[in-house]
Structure 1
Amino acid sequence: MSSNEWSRRQALRVLGGAAALTALPAGFVLANAGPAFAETGPPETGLPDTARGRAVWQYKIGGKAVRREGKTALLGSDADITDFLNNRLQYAIDEDNRFALFAALPFAGRAATTGIGTALSGGSAAMSAFLRDGYGAAVTEDKRVEVLTIKNTGGTAVQRAATSALNTNTLAAFTAFIETGQYPAHDEDARLLVFTMLNTGSPQVKLYAQRALDAGTPEAVDWFLRTGQYIARARDEESATIQQLVGIVEREGRIAQRCTDQAVALSNAAKEAAAKAKQAALAALDEARAAQNDVRRSAKAANAAARAAKNAASCAATAISASRAAQQAARRAAYASQAAAHATAAAGQAAARAYNAAISASKNASAAAAARQAAATARNAAGQARNAARAAEQARIASWSAVSAGTSAAAAATDAASAANASADAASAAGVAQAEAAEARQAAAEATAAAARANRAAAAARSFAQQASSAAAAARDAANSAADHADAAAAAAEEAANHAGQAIDYANRSTAAAQRAVTAANLAMDTVNQARAVEQAARDAETASLAEETELGVELAQRDAREEADERARIARQQTQNALTDEAIRTLIADAETVMRAGDTGRAATLGRQAALQLITNGLTRSWTRSAAEFAVAGGDEDVLVWLSADRLLSQRQDDAESVAAVAGVSTMPVATAAAQALEADNPGAVTEFLTTGAINAAAEDNRRTIFAILADNPGTAVRTAAEAALNDGSAAASHRFLKVTIVDAAAEDDQVEAYRLLNEGGPYTKAAAKIALAGTTNMRRGFVAGTQFDTTQLDHDWATHVAAIRAAIAHAARIASDALANAALASKAAAEARKAAAEAVTWANRAAGYAADAQRSATEAANNAAAAEQSAADARRSADQAAAAAAVANKARRSANSSMLRAFDCADRAVSFAYKAQASANSARASAIQAGRDAAAAAEEASRARHIVILAAEAEAALAAQRAARDDSEDPNAHGDSSIIGMWQNNPDRLLEESAKFFDNLSDWAGLISTGASLGAMVFALNLPLAGTLAVIGTAAKVVSVASGFLAAGSSGMRYGWESTEFHTALGKAMVNTVLTGVGAIKIISGVLPPGWSGVPKQLIERHYEKIGSVTWDAFEGTFGWLHRLFNP
């Protein structure tokens, strides 16, 4: 594999994340699989070093364009192969690189975006250079900018952690901070804020803050800051201090700014990517118009149009994310305006009290001190109200900037989608490559739908932001006005205090003060009413956002449901290789065999190559069959004919044997025993019989126990009915059919019934999830019923808790505003009395009483909302417990499945390793035959015989694996999630083998050291016969222990890492050397305590020699095994 191809994969993993990686050429992981191959082939490919071999390798590792061109070449002549390798390959790689870079754009930062743009503009060499070397610096710069952004909006701990990452100045440090490091720092800042509120808050706030700190979890602290503090403030008899309210406004403003930064970054990425997508779409449009009636050019144009449309859809998805971030910014601005309204009410109340104090002091000299205190309070409230006004203004600006970013991103996505539609139309009009044109039209339709969603999301965010911005502006103006009123009230109170009891123009002064008190109190109440309107707008925006998310989820779920239906239609009971191979391939193979028997070897080779190539591309093809097909396609006609007549069937048989071994590895003892017997049987049909009926019969009793366990778990009606029917039938086939087939449909029916119930009875989030699940796959409904419903129920309760808490806080602010109105009414009453206006005084007294009643109702409303919030919070905690219990059950099942999966992977790894060794052996035999001057047919026969030898060894290994599984009747410890301890060993098979290999290796070393020392001692003390004899006996015993331990270490390494692994070959080579020589262990131990290089021989060189010796020894053993097998089984 070229460095350019590997660097493309590495670069896009960093640049674009998982979404961009879907665009990468498939098959890269194969480059590192398997053992070292024969020197006759390209490094790491395992294929012949022929033009066809190189073409097959490029086909395997290439992207969509490379695979398209490679398939055409491999089905063609030798000239087509040469043309592909020398001409079309580079163009196809460039096309794949270009698409991959386009796919990364929506997820890249500014520096990476600039680098991608330069690479795309610079052509093939520039793209290769960027993917090989240039992306690292760009990504590092983008990460640095992201760290700075987080730092600017973070608290003390976040700033400290960000500064540390910036000082380190590496990509790893930036990534670690962004992905993990920032969150503990955020938690630390949050805890510090809670501590501050604990020290300065009102009684209920202190109580809730202490609970959060006592819980000791980040979730508890976050819940207090997000919701709990509002419940506490609503429960408090005392009003929150205005400084605390200003703190809330400032905190929400910082969060709004952080959301805005995210929205702007996403918007910029979406706009840059949309511009490039539009450019690519227009280029595809021109190419399509020029490709009339040219199959290849029109197909290329249609593929380019489809890729441009997919890129446009990615841009739209990024634009939607920008709008969501903008909506979060607007929501935070709304919270800030609500807190500012609360602060305004508090300032209005302070002003009203100050005016009351001024009137009292004007009349009564003893009220001077109270007037001065009220003046100080009002002046402080004025300053804090202005702080709240400034913070609300910052939040308003941030939210509006975020919305503008989201809107422009949506517009760019729409523009790109329009261009993609135009190019798709042109590709369709080209009229030749209809399949590719249909794909382009489908992609364009998806891009259009995504752009429409982006515009709806942007419109919803813009609508809510307008309301939030207006509310923030009104809160800003009201806070500033309240501050002016509070300052005026403070001045009036101070003046009254200075002239206390003098009653200078008392009537007029009291009247003016009362009027200003009424104005300030009305302003406070107006601001609270505005906060109510904003709160309702926030609820409406959340509802719209949830509807948007639900619509998208339903669309994706429907797509998954269609894919599930297609997959079910395509895959039916496929247990053998014939069942895995589709009808077209079977027809090709049958036709090839027919014409080969008729003597038309050229036609047979052509048909066989087509069948083998389709097997390579079939994702269900198993390892041995795939390996043999790759070798056939990479070789000449003779290799294809040998594949048709022999290798194909041998590989298919071995795939079945590996399947049996895999079944044994993940099954219970009865099934594993039956599997081992099938593999050991002389009857060639035993393996197939086991896969079709034997495994079912062997598992009959286990299946019955499983069915009883299902019934004990209180399943739904459909599952219970089907399970009872299977038990009543009594046959092994009925139990198997229930567990593998019937239960799926029955559970799906029960899940659908339950999902409809939750759709009708659940909260908003549960209803949305139920709607998505009902539109999706059976697995989605199963997951929803089994676990997701508890998470969404918790979300519903959390949402209700938060809504009730915010409304409680607003009701509390309304109580304060009503108190201010009552104080203003009392001031007006006093002024009326000063003017001798008795009737007016009565009117104001009645109003004061009414405002006091309003304050009491608001207090009751706040208390009720707080109680509702408390109840919802308790419900949320219960749902969280249910979700945790469901997750625990799922985790237990997952661990059990993982254990089975790991054993299956072990079987698969062993199969792949042997299959690649078969390729290498076949390559070596083929090359040796050609070098010896034999013809191509004889070389192909030699390659087939070499492959057969390896298959025999693999069959023996599969049988041994099945026998080991049959002997192991214990449940894997991972099924419980814990590993038990047995003596000094952990009860984990892989860990046990690793430790065994190390233990026996060290034992061999120390025994070798003892043997060497004892032997030397016997020579030194040769004249002292008793001592020399004793030392000789010790040396001999130690030698035996050393040799035996060496082979035990090799065996443990082979079982742990595989019989073709470097670790096994090294251990085996060392054991062989230790058998012949004395003192290998001494050399290793002494080299561990002496300075490096003391012997003049590098450790790596010694280990390489061990590995070569071990590899030769193992190959000789396998060769002897194969010779003996042929001798006794002619």
Structure 2
Amino acid sequence: MAATSSLVLNRAAAWAETVPGESAPPDLPDTDRGKAVWAYKTGGKAVREAARAALTGTPAALTAFLTTHLAAARAEDNRFAVITSLPYAGRAVRASAATALGAGDDAISAYLAGGYAGDFHEDLRQAVFTVLNNSGKAVQREAGKALTADTQTALETFLTDGRFTAQEEDDRVAVFRILSTASPEVRKYAERALNDGSPEAIRTFLSSGQYIARARDEEAATIDQLVEIVEREGKIAGLRTEQAVAASDKAKEAAEKAKAAALKAAEEARAAQNDVAKSAQAANAAASAAQGAASAANRAIAASRTAQNASQRAASAAQAAAAAAATAGNAAARAYHAAIAASKDAGKAEAANLAAKGARAAAEKARTAAKAADQASIASKSAASAGASAASAAQNAAAAASASADAAASAGVAQSQAAAARAAAAEADAAAARATKAANTAQTLANRAATAAAAARDAANSAADHADRAATAAEDAYANAGKAIEYATRSTEYANAAVAAATKAYDAVTEAQAVEQAARAAETARLAEDVELGIAEARLRAKAEADDAARADRERTEADRTSSAIKDLIAAAATALASGDTAKAVTDGRNAAAALLTATGTWTREAAEFALAGNDGDVLRWLDADRALAQRLDDRETVLAVARMSTAAVAEAAHTALASTDEDAPTKFLSGGAVQAAAEEYRVRIFKLLNENPGTAVRTKAQAALDNGTAVAMHRFLALELAEAVKEDDNVEVLRLLNNGGPYVHAAAKVVLEGSAKMRRGFLGSGQFDVARIDHDHATHVAAIRASLAHASKVALKALEDAALASKAAAEARAAADEASDWAAKADGYYQDALASAGEAKKNADAADASALKAAESAAAAKKASSVARAASRSANYSMSQALTSAKEAVSYAGQAQASASQAQAAALAAGKSEAEAAAAASAAKKIVADKRKAEAEAKARTIAMEAAAYKTSGTTPVDNDGDTKYWGMWPEDISDGKDWHETLGHWSTVTGVAAAGLAIASIWCPALLPVAGAVGLVSWALGGVQVLTAYGAYGRDSNEYKEDLAEFAVGTIFMGKGAIMEKFGQLEHVGGRISEALGGAAGGIMDILDW
């Protein structure tokens, strides 16, 4: 199913419910049917399917549901909840979840109710220890505080916030440490970062600035600085490795559980031949298992990406270690050369003494670098292995899911469920293929990085040994300066050793340069994988947006939103009732009411629930009067929502419709009156749009709408045609960026070209600048690393030059004139090569500085675009907050009506009245509440119209005062309470009804050429976001602690304002997943980079 909103809820967050009370709530009749309706309202997917079948079946089926099937369905939902949590759980939670899964239904229920809490706490502690063991002093200090406090809040706060603040402190300390031994250019860049003071400036210096500076310095970087880089990068590689292993473990366990579930589903499907109910259950289980397999595959991808990050860090450590080896090799060559000179010339004794000390120090530091490089090599291999094993497990799970789907299809019945299982299995296969590709990419880079790190380790150790021996030679020469003891022999020995040391150092730098090239190739491969995945998702978004826009345009009234199949059932029931066939009327009526349990209209949904919960008389009363009343009331709610979202003319027309004595006036308003009332506003909006210098397609369509002059034409342009015109114009601009942008801009452009109009608007309005900054930052980093390696090459070449000069002196000592001449030529060649490397270092440093400047310019452009886009964010927030207000009021009143009806019916039955009389009493009670709501809505509409007129007079809009609206009260404080849970889902489901039509009509506030293309973006969000959220509810409720702790909410941006509306849901909160995010383990793709 396509995700059509910037709010994305992972399917693994679709948890099951805890068992509600045995009786129905006060607002439903306390009957077996009422209990079944309540089970439907608060149940998960399996419970809902079983409850709906029971409510439309025989009395025996209803009894069987309550006594047997309900418990089994709950157990199925609970088991699914635990299984789908595994990819996001930590080690301890996974272990206890596996135990619960193996211990039976009661154990799973107890586990969901809080049995996981201790293990969750342990996972948090382990996550903190992981950070502590791979971080600097400030992070270690804050980690210690969190561990000492040892509360869930303290541990989570450290992982999600405290560690990052502490890291900023560690980064500043690192800059000061570099500054204390800095060469001139490094000092300049470091001081520039410290003067700026921002965490971004500090991080930029550490990640690229110091490399650029060192490449610019005439003097070589001190070996101390290089060792610090090796250790720093090695620690990060170690941290990323632990993350990759953890992610791999999660993926493997999740894949194993998914595979087991798939095999079980296949077995059930084969046993369910031609049994509709059982085969449907087996097909649903197969689909759930396939979803689990896909989820495991996605975690395997995350593991591989984290492994790739570890390898990149290991490669950075290898590069710095190679530079350290070159520096130590250079020190050794200088010492050998000095020893030869001092042996013959006593005047050069002090130079030999200094060279000996330098070589000793370099040897010590080189060994330190070698140790760190060795750890980086080990980390890289371990990380890649983790990613590969996770991908293999995902493949096995996907294969089992495919077999399970095949078995479900072969059962011969329940074909719609079997098709869903097949689609889920296909996605699992695709995800497993992506996981394999990601693992292969990670493995390739890891092998190169590990090889380079090992080579750098060996080179550093070798250089250290050479430096020590060179120091000994220089010290001996210093002690015996001018004595020329065995001068020819020793000179030759020293010269050969110098050549060996310098050659080893140069080879290490060459290998580091090769690894740098491999890292670039791996980045390119990963970006290609991201584009492939992004295009698939973009196409789904494009289809969903088109469907949403078309549906919003044609479905404005509650009647429009009722499908033809349901209308046919209602018509058949009405015909049967009119002809006196009450049995058929009741049967068809119940089927129709069951179909309306998911209606977006609050009054319609609550009326259907009451009819299903009641007796035959309630169903007949619903058919005869209550259904039509509810439909009209839902239209009135939508009219009020439109008034809240609209300008003066529309608000006044809405008030007129609500105040009219014509019961159909609100429906007529929604069907056409609102559009007519907004004609002048539409005209103004189109003129404003033309003044924003739109593209050719938009200008042409806008002018055509103005030329037509009718409200319908202008509304159609704003609601539908604008999106298509913007799409056409945006395609042109995106193609331009595709052909001229850097690798990330190119990748993003390829994705958005396949996506929705909203995606392109977001990309062109602001996202392109953010992605361009990533391109420039990436180019800066690459150029800086290459500059650093070129500089290291220069150092290694200087070592070779010194070694050649030493060999020349040795040849002269042996009176080998020709050989001395050859060595002199080689020394000159190395000198020329060193000059070329110096030029290459400067060239790369210049490129890095230029890219850094462009990155700053892109950041400034993004900031400016973000400022402009806040107008769209305010518009969206304002409109949605008004929709939420209307939804909350509608749910409240409809709930009151249902409760009043239930009480009136119970009182009538207690007084000995007949079922028909009791149904009439219930209906009358509903009407009292409905009349009260009508009066209140009319009064509110009058106030809204007056306020809108005042805004028009003052030349302002309510949006101007709204800011980033945070409208809450839409989420219960205690979601373990079944009634609150159901009421919340009712709120959000109702938003679909009132917002879709309201936003389609009242699209006046939204700036057309900003991130939202006309009303389409708003409607898409209203429909898609709420659909996703109610899908979350489709799996029922459970313990609120479990939901809050393990449910993954990925809150995206809402019209380029992150979490402005949906902030209540938090950020990436789940066991393991939250930890992984805090540790930087969730390596996102191009869809995560783009901000829509």
CA distance in structure 2 between the partners assigned to 1:438 and 1:734 by the alignment: 40
Q: Which residue of 2 aligns with 1:813?
A: 792
Partner deviation per Cα, 1:862-882 (whole Å, 9 max, x = no partner): 011000011111111111122
Shift of 1:846: 2.4
CA distance in structure 1 between the partners assigned to 2:241 and 2:708 by the alignment: 65
Contact 1:50 1:634 in 2 (8 A): yes
What is the identity, as a one-letter code, of the residue corresponding to 2:800? L
Q: Which residue of 1 aligns with 2:773?
A: 794
Q: 1:928 aligns with which of 907, 910, 914?
A: 907
TM-score (normalizing by structure 1): 0.82
User: Does residue 137 of the first structure (1) align with residue 118 of the second (2)?
Assistant: yes
Contact 1:899 1:975 in 2 (8 A): no
Shift of 1:973: 6.0
Go from structure 1 to structure 2 and tell me whether the alpha carbon gap of 1:554 and 1:93 turns closer, same or farther (over 3 Å shift): same
User: Does residue 487 of the first structure (1) align with residue 468 of the second (2)?
Assistant: yes
Q: Which residue of 2 aligns with 1:296?
A: 277
Shift of 1:690: 2.0
Shift of 1:21: 4.9
CA distance in structure 2 between the partners assigned to 1:913 and 1:293 by the alignment: 45
Shift of 1:989: 11
CA distance in structure 1 between the partners assigned to 2:706 and 2:32 by the alignment: 60
* Secondary structure of residue in 1 paired with 2:133: helix
CA distance in structure 2 between the partners assigned to 1:734 and 1:293 by the alignment: 53
Shift of 1:381: 0.6
Structure 1's unaligned 5+ residue stretches are 1-16, 32-39, 980-986, 992-1130
Contact 2:632 2:664 in 1 (8 A): no
User: Does residue 690 of the first structure (1) align with residue 669 of the second (2)?
Assistant: yes
CA distance in structure 2 between the partners assigned to 1:672 and 1:645 by the alignment: 33
What is the identity, as a one-letter code, of the residue corresponding to 2:647? T
Which structure exhibits the higher relative contact order, with contacts defined as CA atoms closer than 8 Å and separated by 6 or more residues? 2
Contact 2:328 2:362 in 1 (8 A): yes
CA distance in structure 2 between the partners assigned to 1:268 and 1:897 by the alignment: 41
Contact 2:83 2:258 in 1 (8 A): yes
1:48-87 to structure 2, matched below 5 A, reads 48-87=29-68
CA distance in structure 2 between the partners assigned to 1:888 and 1:877 by the alignment: 17
Partner deviation per Cα, 1:65-109 (whole Å, 9 max, x = no partner): 111111110111222211111110000000000111110011111
User: Does residue 560 of the first structure (1) align with residue 541 of the second (2)?
Assistant: yes
Q: Which residue of 2 aligns with 1:424?
A: 405
* Secondary structure of residue in 2 paired with 1:153: coil
Shift of 1:26: 8.9
Shift of 1:293: 2.0
What is the identity, as a one-letter code, of the residue corresponding to 2:903? S
Shift of 1:786: 2.1
Q: 1:874 aligns with which of 844, 853, 860?
A: 853
* Secondary structure of residue in 1 paired with 2:554: coil
Shift of 1:754: 2.1
CA distance in structure 1 between the partners assigned to 2:772 and 2:857 by the alignment: 10
Q: Which residue of 2 aligns with 1:676?
A: 655
Q: Which residue of 1 aligns with 2:329?
A: 348
Q: 1:228 aligns with which of 209, 216, 230?
A: 209
CA distance in structure 2 between the partners assigned to 1:668 and 1:50 by the alignment: 47
Q: Which has the larger radius of gyration?
A: 1
Q: Which residue of 2 aligns with 1:646?
A: 625
Q: Which residue of 1 aligns with 2:757?
A: 778
CA distance in structure 2 between the partners assigned to 1:437 and 1:977 by the alignment: 48
What is the identity, as a one-letter code, of the residue corresponding to 2:704? A
CA distance in structure 1 between the partners assigned to 2:963 and 2:555 by the alignment: 35
Q: Which residue of 2 aligns with 1:23?
A: 14
CA distance in structure 1 between the partners assigned to 2:963 and 2:638 by the alignment: 29
CA distance in structure 1 between the partners assigned to 2:913 and 2:78 by the alignment: 43
Contact 2:17 2:74 in 1 (8 A): no
Shift of 1:25: 4.8
Contact 1:194 1:209 in 2 (8 A): yes
Q: Which residue of 1 aligns with 2:414?
A: 433
Q: 1:768 aligns with which of 747, 750, 753?
A: 747
* Secondary structure of residue in 2 paired with 1:238: coil
Contact 2:766 2:862 in 1 (8 A): yes
CA distance in structure 2 between the partners assigned to 1:652 and 1:416 by the alignment: 47
Partner deviation per Cα, 1:752-809 (whole Å, 9 max, x = no partner): 2222222222211112112221222232222222222222111111111111111000
Contact 1:798 1:872 in 2 (8 A): yes
What is the identity, as a one-letter code, of the residue corresponding to 1:581? T
Q: Which residue of 1 aligns with 2:976?
A: none
CA distance in structure 2 between the partners assigned to 1:591 and 1:427 by the alignment: 34
CA distance in structure 2 between the partners assigned to 1:940 and 1:367 by the alignment: 114
Q: 1:268 aligns with which of 249, 258, 263?
A: 249
Partner deviation per Cα, 1:1092-1111 (whole Å, 9 max, x = no partner): xxxxxxxxxxxxxxxxxxxx
Go from structure 1 to structure 2 and tell me whether the alpha carbon gap of 1:138 and 1:482 turns closer, same or farther (over 3 Å shift): same
Shift of 1:571: 5.5
Contact 2:370 2:461 in 1 (8 A): yes
CA distance in structure 2 between the partners assigned to 1:155 and 1:615 by the alignment: 59
Partner deviation per Cα, 1:97-129 (whole Å, 9 max, x = no partner): 011111001111111111111111111110111
Go from structure 1 to structure 2 and tell me whether the alpha carbon gap of 1:23 and 1:394 turns closer, same or farther (over 3 Å shift): same
* Secondary structure of residue in 2 paired with 1:868: helix
Partner deviation per Cα, 1:860-911 (whole Å, 9 max, x = no partner): 1101100001111111111112222222222221122212221221122111
CA distance in structure 1 between the partners assigned to 2:18 and 2:754 by the alignment: 33
Contact 2:26 2:902 in 1 (8 A): no
Contact 1:790 1:883 in 2 (8 A): yes
Go from structure 1 to structure 2 and tell me whether the alpha carbon gap of 1:914 and 1:586 turns closer, same or farther (over 3 Å shift): same
Shift of 1:848: 1.9
Go from structure 1 to structure 2 and tell me whether the alpha carbon gap of 1:977 and 1:959 turns closer, same or farther (over 3 Å shift): closer
Contact 1:289 1:430 in 2 (8 A): yes
Q: Which residue of 2 aligns with 1:337?
A: 318
What is the identity, as a one-letter code, of the residue corresponding to 1:846? A
Q: Which residue of 1 aligns with 2:925?
A: 946
What is the identity, as a one-letter code, of the residue corresponding to 2:780? T
What is the identity, as a one-letter code, of the residue corresponding to 2:397? A
What is the identity, as a one-letter code, of the residue corresponding to 2:577? M
Q: 1:389 aligns with which of 356, 362, 370?
A: 370
Q: 2:155 aligns with which of 174, 187, 190?
A: 174
* Secondary structure of residue in 2 paired with 1:836: coil
CA distance in structure 2 between the partners assigned to 1:880 and 1:963 by the alignment: 46
What is the identity, as a one-letter code, of the residue corresponding to 2:124? K
Q: 1:724 aligns with which of 703, 712, 718?
A: 703
Q: Which residue of 1 aligns with 2:581?
A: 600
Q: 2:726 aligns with which of 747, 751, 759?
A: 747
CA distance in structure 1 between the partners assigned to 2:582 and 2:643 by the alignment: 41
Shift of 1:564: 4.1
Q: Which residue of 2 aligns with 1:128?
A: 109
Contact 1:564 1:777 in 2 (8 A): yes
* More displaced stretch, 235-244 vs 781-790: 781-790
Structure 2's unaligned 5+ residue stretches are 1-7, 970-1092
What is the identity, as a one-letter code, of the residue corresponding to 2:914? D
User: Does residue 217 of the first structure (1) align with residue 198 of the second (2)?
Assistant: yes
What is the identity, as a one-letter code, of the residue corresponding to 1:19? N
Q: Which residue of 2 aligns with 1:204?
A: 185
Q: Which residue of 2 aligns with 1:703?
A: 682
What is the identity, as a one-letter code, of the residue corresponding to 1:187? E
Shift of 1:567: 4.7
CA distance in structure 1 between the partners assigned to 2:935 and 2:201 by the alignment: 58
Partner deviation per Cα, 1:699-748 (whole Å, 9 max, x = no partner): 22222221122112221111111112222333333322221122111111
Go from structure 1 to structure 2 and tell me whether the alpha carbon gap of 1:834 and 1:666 turns closer, same or farther (over 3 Å shift): same
Contact 1:110 1:269 in 2 (8 A): yes
Q: Which residue of 2 aligns with 1:1128?
A: none
Q: 1:366 aligns with which of 341, 347, 350?
A: 347
Contact 2:881 2:967 in 1 (8 A): no
User: Does residue 916 of the first structure (1) align with residue 907 of the second (2)?
Assistant: no
Partner deviation per Cα, 1:208-264 (whole Å, 9 max, x = no partner): 112222222211111111111111111111111001101100111100000000011
Go from structure 1 to structure 2 and tell me whether the alpha carbon gap of 1:83 and 1:636 turns closer, same or farther (over 3 Å shift): same
What is the identity, as a one-letter code, of the residue corresponding to 1:294? D
